[in-house]
């Protein structure tokens, strides 16, 4: 009997872009850029202009996450490109595949999904799971504080956009004892009017510094009398090495909630 051939690792959409590990990887996702740069730097051949971690990252840049240059990506001769359903455009992924470039697509919507996604990614890269992945799982294993605080979580303004249902960031907040008022909304990123946000019954507004850079003078004034917490968008929304310290970082920031 012939020995069974192990199945090739699959991405979050069920695709198996390559039968063998890649040697040159271009990442269009900042959190995945950090993951590869920290754990397998010899593979990273390019990244977007928004890939800011680790500090001092010195690789060729291919433009933005939403509008990368397909020609610049191809010129780097990658044998795998890393993309994400939310951060990258479907047409760019299609253009790369049409040019014969394999693309690995991620789409985590909760913490277990992110940990599993990263484990499969490193298997697809032909690398062992990095130590920080186990550290992240351990850091987030503790139960959430009770009772939960009810919060609205804007991620953009002009117009206002908030976290809705089925989001990775919403799941992290839930594990920190913060219940998203819009967690049951049919849309993942609803756009309520400001009056609706103010009347949503929240006792806290959580304001990350990305994708919109909320600050103490830009955001809290829209919710007079409602305590607010300014939090790290990287620790709230990135799935990669930042997940290991994210629980402690976010918990500390949430404890500093101050009245607007």
The predicted pLDDT at position 1 comes to: 39
Q: What end-to-end distance do the CA atoms of the chain give, in Å?
A: 70
The predicted pLDDT at position 7 comes to: 66
Q: Which CATH superfamily is domain 25-129 in?
A: Nitrogenase molybdenum iron protein domain (3.40.50.1980)
CA gap 102, 32 in Å, rounded: 16
pLDDT digits (tens, 9 = 90+) for 30-46: 999 999 999 999 999 99
Of 3.40.50.2300, 3.40.50.1980, 3.30.450.40, 3.30.70.920, which CATH number belongs to 149-259? 3.40.50.1980
pLDDT digits (tens, 9 = 90+) for 71-123: 999 999 999 999 999 999 999 999 999 999 999 999 999 999 999 999 999 99
Average pLDDT (161-178) is: 95
Average pLDDT (180-197) is: 95
What are the residue boundaries of the structural domains of the chain, listed by start?
Answer: 25-129, 149-259
Nearest of 73, 211, 100 to residue 154 by alpha carbon: 211
* pLDDT of 258 above 90: no
Are the C-beta atoms of 173 and 154 separated by less than 8 Å? no
Instruction: Say what the pTM is.
Output: 0.91
The predicted pLDDT at position 60 comes to: 96
């Amino acid at each position: 009997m012939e020995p069974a051939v192990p199945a090739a690792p699959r991405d979050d959409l069920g695709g198996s872009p390559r039968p063998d590990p890649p040697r040159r990887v271009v990442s269009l996702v900042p959190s995945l850029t950090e993951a590869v740069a920290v754990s397998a730097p010899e593979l990273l051949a390019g990244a977007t202009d928004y890939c800011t971690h680790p500090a001092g990252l010195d690789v060729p840049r291919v433009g933005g996450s939403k509008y990368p240059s397909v020609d610049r990506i191809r010129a780097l001769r990658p044998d795998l490109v890393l993309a994400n359903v939310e951060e990258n455009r479907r047409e760019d992924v299609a253009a790369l595949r049409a040019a014969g470039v394999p693309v690995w697509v991620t789409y985590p919507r909760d913490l277990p999904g992110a940990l599993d996604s990263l484990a499969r990614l490193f298997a697809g890269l032909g690398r062992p799971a990095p130590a920080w992945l186990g550290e992240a799982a351990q850091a987030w294993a503790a139960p959430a504080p009770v009772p939960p605080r009810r919060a609205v979580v804007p991620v953009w303004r002009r117009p206002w956009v908030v976290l809705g249902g089925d989001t990775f960031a919403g799941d992290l907040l839930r594990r920190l004892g913060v219940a998203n008022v819009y967690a049951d909304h049919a849309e993942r990123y609803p756009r309520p009017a400001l009056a609706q946000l103010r009347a949503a019954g929240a006792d806290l507004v959580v304001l990350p510094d990305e994708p919109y850079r909320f600050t103490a003078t830009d955001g809290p004034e829209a919710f007079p009398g409602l305590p607010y917490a300014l939090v790290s968008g990287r620790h709230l929304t990135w799935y990669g090495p930042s997940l290991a310290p994210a629980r402690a970082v976010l918990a500390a920031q949430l404890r500093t909630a101050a009245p607007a």
